[in-house]
Each structure stands twice: as C-alpha cells, then as structure tokens.
Structure 1
Amino acid sequence: MISSKPIFSGFNLRPLGRKGDMVTPIGLAGSGIGHFRKPPYDVYKWGLNNGINLFMWVPPYKNMTKSIVELPAQRRSELFIVSGVNRGGPKEIRDKVYTFLKTLKIEKLPCLLLFWVTSESRVREPIIEELVRLRDEGLCDNIGLSTHNRKMANELYTKNIFDIFMLRYNAAHRGLEQDFFDKLDSKRLPGVITYTSTRWNKLLRRPSSWNENLPRPGDLYRFPLSHQFVTATWMSPGNIEELKANLTEIAEGPLKPEEDRFIRRFGDRVHESKSWGITNFFERSSRY
C-alpha cells in the first residue's frame, strides 16, 4: 500500500495495523448524518489518482464505492479501507463482512471496526471472539473500534485485543492526551486514526470575543498529525478545491511550537463557547 505521489511532503507515510501497511496521513471519508452523497465522486477520484490510499467506507457512501470498484483488482487490494458495524451479534457481523467484500470486490478488509462503542456490552466476549475469528480466517487484517469513551478505549488497549482505535481528537477536545496517549506503552503502540479535526467546522468559525486570526483549515489537521501517537486523521472535503487547499497547508508538516500553542489556546476558547451541533461527522472541511 504505497502512495504514488509526494502530496504529503511535510508528513511521512505511517505504518498502520498488524502488518505495518504504509498509509497516507490523511484518509478520505464520506459525510455522515444525512449527507451520504458527499463528498462528490471527483474528490475520491482525485485522491486515488494522487496517492491517497486510506479510506473510511460504509455502504451508503455511493460515490466512494464507485471510485473504488472501478479500479483494477490489484489497485483495489493496495488500498487501506476501514469499515465497520454498529450493531448485531456474531452472525450479523460476519454476514455484513461478506457483503462488504462483495460490494467492494475485494478478498479481505484491511480493517473492521466496531462503530460508536458506548458501553462494554458492545465488546462482550462473543463479539470479540467473532472479530478475532474473522481476522484469523483472513477476512480482515485488523480489528478495532471507534468510541468517545476514552477510559474504555484505554482499558481495551491494555487487554491487547484491538489493532486500531478510531478516536476523537482536535484542538478543542484534547482529553485523549492524558486519558489515552499518555498511558500507551511505546513498545506496543496501536494504530490511531482521529476524527472531527475541525470539530464539526466549529474550529473554522470565530468565537465571541476572539479578535485574533483564525487557524487555517489545514492547520487543524496538522494538529492531530503532529502528535507522535496519531497515525492518520479523516477528512471529508466538499470539493476538489477544498481538498487541494487543505493538503497544501498540511504539507507544511508538524506544527511549530508557537503554532501549537496558538491552536491550543484557540481550541480552549472554542470549547468554552459550548457551541454544539453536528453538521458532518467526518469533517466536511469548508474553508469559508
């Protein structure tokens, strides 16, 4: 799984999962919560043609599906596709995996997640055993979960069950640093993919009583990518122009100390404003 063009000149490709597959630091995702037709097809096509090899996929993402299945079989096998299930027991999970493989025309799924895990009941033993079986049978390379529950994520990490964690981390929500990152064993690091880098676009807007400049959109993605334990982060741009502009800024590489301090201070101010409302779960990073 190799990126064919150096569009991430400021960030190296990173190893992800049990096999250490090299992935681009930015992965493309679809828009959630009623916006399944976005991003448009040409965004995914441009990303594929310019070396992005990490994708967050679920069946409603029709534009992404089209861009993937029209690739030659060998090219499809080089992508690191993350998908998952948010309900169902062992049989339902297995059936969905078979459906995923058939839909995407691939032989195995690089990563299977349990989506939006909110309690330990979702990671009970029969579920875990089925995930491990699917991995052992070669139907997926890695298993993992996504959750907002940082304490539970750390507890599951200590049990050495999951290969990849999908977790919220941005300038306004930094609890992952003390609740998860600071507790990791540097000799046994999991793959970590973060989401909501722009906090549902709230970090792109001026909070009250803030008279300084705003961070650039690309800087909000540089923030998680600058953390040593973050492998990649998701982006769901609204069009090719947004994607290109973000990548140009991301290519500047890790945040400088003064940039990091500024974004953290800005993130604190946004968090204090308590302005909520989810418009796009995977970050449709509008620049306007």
Structure 2
Amino acid sequence: MPLTTLSGQPSSRLALGAHPQTPGACVDVALAGGIHSFFFYDRHAAAVLEALATALPSRRDDTLLITGTEERDIKGVQNDLDAIRKRLGVDTVDAFLLLYVAPGEDIGDVDRLLDHLHEQREAGALRYVGASAHDRKQAERLARDPRVDVQMHRYNMAHRGAEKAVFPAALESDTPVIAFTCTRWGTLLAGHEEWEGPAPSAPDCYRFALAHPAVELALTAPHSVGELQQNLAVLDAPAPTPDEMAAWRAYGDIVYGGVPGEFETSWP
C-alpha cells in the first residue's frame, strides 16, 4: 500500500528528517526542490516545526507528515499524537509510528497500542499506523502484522541484514518501508583505509537505499541548507548501475563493524 498525501500524490522518494539542529529554512528548500514528505521524532525540532506550521495552511493536502512516539502506554501515545497535531495546527497526521519496538517488550502492550492507533485512524487523527524496530526479527513480525501500514527500518551499505527477511516480508505484505540511517550516521562518507576507490557521497547512500524495491522513501537529515541542496540531486538521479551497487556493497562489507556501539553490530 503506497503512501500518499491527502490529495493522492505519492510520497517523495526523500523525506526531510528533522532534528534539533536542522535549520528551519530547510523546509522551504525541500518543498521547492521536490520533497513533500517530512519526518520528525518529537516536538523538539523547533525550527523545522515552526517552518512547517507556517507552510502547511496552503500546502497541507500535498504534504506527507510522518512522526511517532516512544511512549508505551495509551495515555502517553495519545498525548504525543495530540500535541503534534496542535503544534502544527492540523487535524490529521499522515503516519504515526510506534518507534523502536524492542525484543524484550511485552507483545500484548504493543498489540494494545496498535489497536489504539487504529481507533485513532478511524477517528481521523492519523491516516497510516506505523512501527519501527532495529531488531530484524521484530521488524519482520511487524512487517507481517496487518495492522502495520508502514514500517521504518535501518538500511544502508553496511547494514544490509534487512534484505534477508524484513524486506521480503514487507514486499509480501505490501508494507512500504521508510529507510533511515542511510549514511550510517554520516560515517559512510568518510572512506576507509582499506578502500581504494572514492568514498560514497550522501546522494550515493540514498540512491543505494532507494534501489531496493521494498523501500518507498529514505530519510535525509541535513545539518545545513547546503547539505540538503546536495541531497536533492537524488530525486532526479538514475537508478544505480549493477557496478555501482556491487562497489557499494563491497565498501559496506569493509566498513561494517567500525562504529562503536550496539547499533553497529547487534543488528547487522
């Protein structure tokens, strides 16, 4: 089920992902450059949310608003949903996700929250119920859950484990995937001493992620307008060639494991 705006327009292949350092000016640059999908974790990306609130009155039907919550009780989830609708001055959020469902979580609690979000969808507060998980088994289960309309999942040149089970399940269930950490927290752009070729650019990283048929859109979270303008080239770029894909996979194999922390190696 592809994601669309209220007016029926397909999601843009890139979504502007907001963080506290994202300049508000990126919103107008994104809209002018062909990005009409926006993602924000919470209400702390103040500059982007302010710019969106200004732009939405004349463009709401043609934008796709994606957000979510890490709360795990109905009251907390509802508070986050209501707060972002109020902050942006909208009746409906397009996609609302249960973020980072973890292996140790009570499945019954997750089920109750998904059911609650479906009730909110019926009430018109949101249009798509979503979820995200770093753990591949959890992500595969969520991809097969008919209550999950969209899934957000980590995917990049170094982290390709989703190709084995998560993406096939998503394709089978017709569940669109939002790819994030496509640049591996920016580290894919740094190159590697064992790699003889040029390091991939940020647009290369997004082209790689978007080449998989399960991935409907990829998040880009620039730190400046200049970075965003560079990334806009992805929207008009051709699909990667087989040689490009092979090179990027080889590069990913070399750099994998080079970033400290469980997010690098616990979930490949």
TM-score by length of 2: 0.89
Specify whether residues 96 and 249 from structure 1 end up closer, same or farther in structure 2 by C-alpha distance, changes over 3 A only. closer
Residue matched to 2:150: 164
Q: Distance in 1 between matches of 2:5 and 2:137?
A: 23
Q: Distance in 1 between matches of 2:163 and 2:82?
A: 36
Tell me, yes or no, if the aligned pair for 2:157 and 2:251 is still in contact at 8 Å. yes
Q: Which stretch of structure 1 is more off in the superposition, 152-161 or 257-266? A: 152-161
| Amino-acid identity (%) | 27
Q: 1:252 aligns with which of 215, 219, 237?
A: 237
Residue matched to 1:91: 75
Q: 1:219 aligns with which of 191, 196, 204?
A: 204
| CA positional deviation for 1:130 | 0.9
Tell me, yes or no, if the aligned pair for 1:68 and 1:76 is still in contact at 8 Å. no
RMSD: 2.2
Aligned residue for 2:106, secondary structure, equals helix
| CA positional deviation for 1:155 | 1.5
| CA positional deviation for 1:116 | 1.3
Q: Deviations over 1:190-246 (max 9, x none)?
A: 121000111011111122322222112211110011111110000011222222222
Tell me, yes or no, if the aligned pair for 1:17 and 1:190 is still in contact at 8 Å. no
Tell me, yes or no, if the aligned pair for 2:69 and 2:97 is still in contact at 8 Å. yes
Tell me, yes or no, if the aligned pair for 2:23 and 2:224 is still in contact at 8 Å. yes
Q: Deviations over 1:131-154 (max 9, x none)?
A: 111111111001111110121121
Kindly indicate whether structure 1 or structure 2 has the higher relative contact order, using CA contacts under 8 Å at least 6 residues apart: 1
Residue matched to 1:147: 133
5+ long unaligned stretches in structure 1: 1-13, 279-288
Q: Which amino acid aligns with 2:241?
A: K
Q: Distance in 2 between matches of 1:133 and 1:184?
A: 23
TM-score by length of 1: 0.83
Aligned residue for 2:254, secondary structure, equals helix
| Structure that is richer in helix per residue | 2
Q: Distance in 2 between matches of 1:97 and 1:258?
A: 44
Aligned residue for 2:215, secondary structure, equals coil
Q: Distance in 1 between matches of 2:56 and 2:206?
A: 31
Tell me, yes or no, if the aligned pair for 1:118 and 1:149 is still in contact at 8 Å. yes
5+ long unaligned stretches in structure 2: 263-268
Tell me, yes or no, if the aligned pair for 1:17 and 1:142 is still in contact at 8 Å. no
Residue matched to 1:205: 190
Q: Distance in 2 between matches of 1:74 and 1:44?
A: 14
Q: Deviations over 1:148-177 (max 9, x none)?
A: 012112112223110010000000000000
